Amino acid sequence: MPTTVPLPDKDRHVRRSGSDYAQAMLGLLPQGAAWPRDVDSTLVRSVYGLANYWGTCDARAGDLLEQESDPRKTVELLPDWERNFGLPDPCFQSTPTISARQRMLVFKMTLLGGQSRDFFINDVAMRMLGYTITISEYAPFMAGVSNAGDTRTPPLNPNPLIGDYRWYIGPPEMRFYWTVHVASKGLRWFRCGGGGGEAGVDHHLEIGIDADLECLLNRWKPAHTQIVFDYSGLTGPDDPMAGTP
């Protein structure tokens, strides 16, 4: 029974150099005194001049087939790939690196979409933007449906996806709100002294708002819902007072 031989992990397309094209062209020319094959003759030098151009075109075609056709590796055609997939996204204000643009392109091409917590936490925040978030959802207390007493998740096995409590006292409209808790962001507190803040001008605390995260989540959220972004749990490793209430 025949077996399938895997392709070698290198050039899968035949590349021909200018010399290859020159030899092929010289082999097709007529024979005779008017068609010399001397390497210093005008004819041979002209043939090599033309063939080197064809060899360059051949190499460029190989590059396009092997690299630029792959969205994970493309560089020259990256702007064309991005244009066809609606990139760069208007939510991103900064100009990312080539590798980041390639990752974003592949993510956009393979994105299936969704409206679950897992989609927003893992696909959008983590894979696409590199943020760590958790999501809390809310449900009003309903007699005959809700449980009375402490409905928090067990402290030894907390589940931040559903929030601290399962049921909340409040208007029924709360079911249309959900909170995105953003982690790992630096906080800048007001400081006195040289290089510190200016009283009456600077805020007591400034929190870096993740504009790209908020933009994407607000665009892709279920249309009937509202998002509350929570930055109160942020930590800043370079600031000894980060997280101080």
Would you say residue 3 lies in a domain? Answer: no
DSSP run (H or E) holding 182: strand 177-182
Would you say residue 160 lies in a domain? Answer: yes
Are residues 54 and 90 located together in one domain of the fold?
Answer: no
Would you say residue 11 lies in a domain? Answer: no
- The token pair at 163 is 């929030």
Are residues 222 and 147 located together in one domain of the fold?
Answer: yes
Are residues 93 and 192 located together in one domain of the fold?
Answer: no
Are residues 182 and 137 located together in one domain of the fold?
Answer: yes
In sequence order, the 6+-apart residues with CB closer than 8 A to the CB of 234 are 182, 183, 184, 185, 186, 187, 207, 242, 243
Are residues 166 and 82 located together in one domain of the fold?
Answer: no
Q: What is the DSSP string of 116-134?
A: SHHIIIIIIIIIII---EE
Are residues 82 and 122 located together in one domain of the fold?
Answer: no
Q: How far apart are CA 120 and CA 91, in angstroms?
A: 16
Evaluate the omega torsion of the peptide bond into residue 36 and state whether it is cis, within 30 degrees of 0: no
Would you say residue 7 lies in a domain? Answer: no
Would you say residue 144 lies in a domain? Answer: yes
Would you say residue 235 lies in a domain? Answer: no
Are residues 168 and 213 located together in one domain of the fold?
Answer: yes
Are residues 106 and 123 located together in one domain of the fold?
Answer: no
Q: Which of 37, 68, 99 is the last residue of a domain?
A: 68
Are residues 120 and 163 located together in one domain of the fold?
Answer: yes
Are residues 163 and 218 located together in one domain of the fold?
Answer: yes
Are the C-beta atoms of residues 109 and 129 closer than 8 Å to each other?
Answer: no
**pTM score above 0.75:** no
Task: State the residue range of the domain holding 84.
Answer: 78-110
Coil/strand/helix, residue 227? strand
Are residues 168 and 205 located together in one domain of the fold?
Answer: yes
Are the C-beta atoms of residues 243 and 234 closer than 8 Å to each other?
Answer: yes
Would you say residue 208 lies in a domain? Answer: yes
Would you say residue 9 lies in a domain? Answer: no
Determine the pLDDT at residue 223: 92
List per-residue pLDDT tens for the chain, 245 residues long.
444 445 555 556 677 888 888 888 888 888 888 888 888 888 888 888 888 888 888 888 887 887 888 898 888 889 999 999 988 888 876 656 787 788 888 888 888 888 888 899 988 888 877 788 888 888 888 777 777 766 665 554 445 444 566 677 778 888 899 999 887 665 566 777 545 566 777 777 766 567 888 898 999 999 999 999 988 776 555 555 554 54
| Total tally of structural domains belonging to the chain | 3
Are residues 94 and 129 located together in one domain of the fold?
Answer: no
